[in-house]
Amino acid sequence: MLNHIIVDISKHEFTPQQVTWLRQEFVQRVAIGFDRPTMMWIIGGLTGIGIAAFGILWSEIGSVRDELRTEISSVRDELREEISSVREEVKENRARIVDIATGLARIEAILEERLPRN
């Protein structure tokens, strides 16, 4: 479009050197950059790629989160089972200690009766 404007300007009192300079300054600079539709496609494409990458990452984070939840719940269940078995063992050990203490008290009582105190 600028090229047509410069051609129209060349009909009005501009020398060929001035028209050449105008072409070099304005037409080539516009040709170097991207036009608006191209820029819109580039921006839209980058935005689409970004949204797609975000969606993929979000789904991966969600799947890892679900895996962690299931792993944590299974470990929690294993720990509860282990704690309950340890509690049972502690109860059994306490009962054995009571039995041993009772037996020891009987032995001490028998020894005191039979052995002289001097």
Question: How much of the chain, in percent, has pLDDT values that exceed 90?
Answer: 58
Going through the chain in order, the beta strands assigned E by DSSP cover none
Mean pLDDT of 15-40: 73
What DSSP line would sit under 66-97, residue for residue?
HHHHHHHHHHHHHHHHHHHHHHHHHHHHHHHH
pLDDT attached to residue 36: 79
Reply yes or no on whether the pLDDT at 5 is more than 90: no
For residue 102, give Cα distances in angstroms to 51, 68, 105, 109.
75, 51, 5, 11
Q: What is the pLDDT of residue 35?
A: 74
- The tens digit of pLDDT for each residue in 73-85 reads 999 999 999 999 9
10 pLDDT above the threshold of 60: no
CA 21 to each of CA 11, 25, 36, 115: distance values in angstroms, whole numbers, following the listed order: 15, 6, 25, 131
Q: Return d(Cα 56, Cα 28) in angstroms, integer.
A: 42
35 versus 92: the higher-pLDDT residue is 92
One-letter amino acid at 65 equals R
DSSP state of 11: T
